[in-house]
Amino acid sequence: MRLISLFVLSVTGLLTASASAQEWPAKPIRVVVPYTPGGVSEAIFRAMSTGIENRLGQRFYIENKPGADGNIGTGDVVRSAPDGYSLLLAPTANFAVTPHMYKNLGFDPLTGLDPIGLLVEAPLIITVSTNVPAKTLKEFIDFIRSNPGKYNYGSPGSGSPAHLTMAQISQQTGNSMVYVPFKGTAPLALAMLSGDVHASTYSLTAVAGQLKAGKLRALAITSKQRMAEIPDVPTTAEAGFPQYNGTNWWVIAAPKGTNTRFIDRLWSEFRTALAEPEVKKRIAETGHVPVPMGPAETVSFLKAESARYKKIVDDGKITAD
């Protein structure tokens, strides 16, 4: 009799779990953004979320969890139940950079999360102040190599692709430049305009006006193709330096062990949204472009990006301190 009861309970549990899976999503889905409210991540997500919500029959709600360069929010999702109701939307730094900058992070995003997909990226523009005589990326690299320690570069945040792209250039020219960190793009741009900072990288939306007015000079962009808004600016590959190809990309992921059916359904919805003309237009307004990449491909992409940035961090002895 006891064996029969255990069998009935086991079958009932399996049926309940199966029914729960079939009903997903049965409630709103939390999307953790590991930064303060009002950032570009929210604009990117809202550009595509309405249509997905209509098709899923449930809404998403964004929960901002800033702190520790985005690691607090990322860790929250790593430790969340893999039930399909907690997702992480985070950029390059949180998947591929900060794990190498923090000695005791407490989790590994590559093993603690299941990627749903790569969504968008923002190419970076390698930019110099007008008091730097270089007109091309090659001229700039030759110039700083010939003037070690006399020029500097800034970034809007340590550990960002903007920081590490310039750090890579400095490392490969004999650590020729001094690093000056800033808290945000606005103060960095002001320092560039005044000539106190000599070089940095930006997304187009951050410096479009200054470039058009000739107050800053663009040397190259890190994307695979030229940008229509600045067609005369070559890619880093065209300039002869394909290794400087960092972009700020955004990946959406779920806790490790999330039902693959949920992940596949979500990816199908995001891929559909990213192909819609209105969504593309709204994403372009944030300075990003769609680069849809599914779960399996994203896993390989993240491993490669993590290894690439680890080398830059290790070579430069870059830490979170």
User: What integer pLDDT is reported at residue 15 of this predicted model?
Assistant: 44
**Cα separation, 305 vs 247, whole angstroms:** 10
Q: Is the pLDDT of residue 153 over 90?
A: yes
Domain chopping of the chain, boundaries? 27-121+248-315, 125-221
Quick one: tokens of 233? 């600016």
**What is the three-class DSSP state of 203?**
coil
pLDDT at 321: 60
Query: Mean pLDDT throughout 121-145?
Result: 95
DSSP assignment letter at 96: I
Spatial contact of 60 and 31, defined as CB atoms under 8 Å apart = yes
The hierarchical CATH code for the domain 27-121+248-315 is: 3.40.190.150
Task: Answer positive or negative: Cα dihedral of 79, 81, 85, 87.
Answer: positive
User: Rounded mean pLDDT of the chain?
Assistant: 91
Same fold, 27-121+248-315 and 125-221: yes
Taking 50 as the threshold, does the pLDDT of residue 130 lie above it?
Answer: yes
Segment 193-245, tens digit of pLDDT: 999 999 999 988 888 899 999 999 999 999 888 888 899 999 999 999 999 98
Cα–Cα distance measured from residue 207 to residue 217, given in angstroms and rounded to the nearest whole number: 10
Question: How many other CB atoms sit within 10 Å of the CB of residue 119?
Answer: 25
CA atoms within 13 A on the CB side of 30: 15
CA distances from 229 to 125, 164, 233, 281 (A): 12, 25, 9, 14
What number is the average pLDDT over the span 56-74? Answer: 94
pLDDT at res. 235: 96
Q: What is the mean pLDDT of residues 184-193?
A: 90
Cα separations in angstroms, 30 against 76, 83, 250, 262, 292: 12, 11, 17, 14, 21
> Residue 19 — pLDDT band, cuts 50, 70, 90?
very low
Is the pLDDT confidence value at 17 over 50? no
- Which of 137, 88, 115 is closest to 245 using CA atoms? 137
| Contact present, 122 and 170 (Cβ < 8 Å) | no
Give the right CATH number for 125-221 from 3.30.565.10, 3.40.50.2000, 3.40.190.10, 3.30.2450.30.
3.40.190.10
pLDDT of residue 140: 97
pLDDT category of residue 2 using cuts at 50, 70 and 90? low
User: How far are the Cα atoms of 56, 60, 80, 120, 307 from residue 77, in angstroms, in the given order?
Assistant: 21, 15, 5, 20, 23
Its pTM stands at 0.87
Supply the pLDDT for residue 194.
Answer: 93
**How many Å apart are CA 233 and CA 136, to the nearest integer?**
9
How far apart, in Å, do the first and last CA atoms of the chain sit? 63
- Residues 231-281 have pLDDT tens digits of 999 999 999 999 998 899 999 999 999 999 999 999 999 999 999 999 999
CA–CA distance, 113 with 258 (Å, rounded to integer): 9
| pLDDT for position 104 | 86
Distance separating alpha carbons of residues 279 and 197, to the nearest angstrom: 36
Which positions ≥6 away from 168 have C-beta within 8 Å? 243, 244, 246, 312
Closest C-alpha to 194, from 289, 129, 271 = 129
Residue 4 pLDDT exceeds 60: no
Q: Is the pLDDT of residue 32 over 90?
A: yes
Do 35 and 41 touch, CB atoms closer than 8 A?
A: yes
**13, 248 in Cβ contact below 8 A?**
no
What pLDDT does residue 302 have? 97
β-pair partners for 129: 216
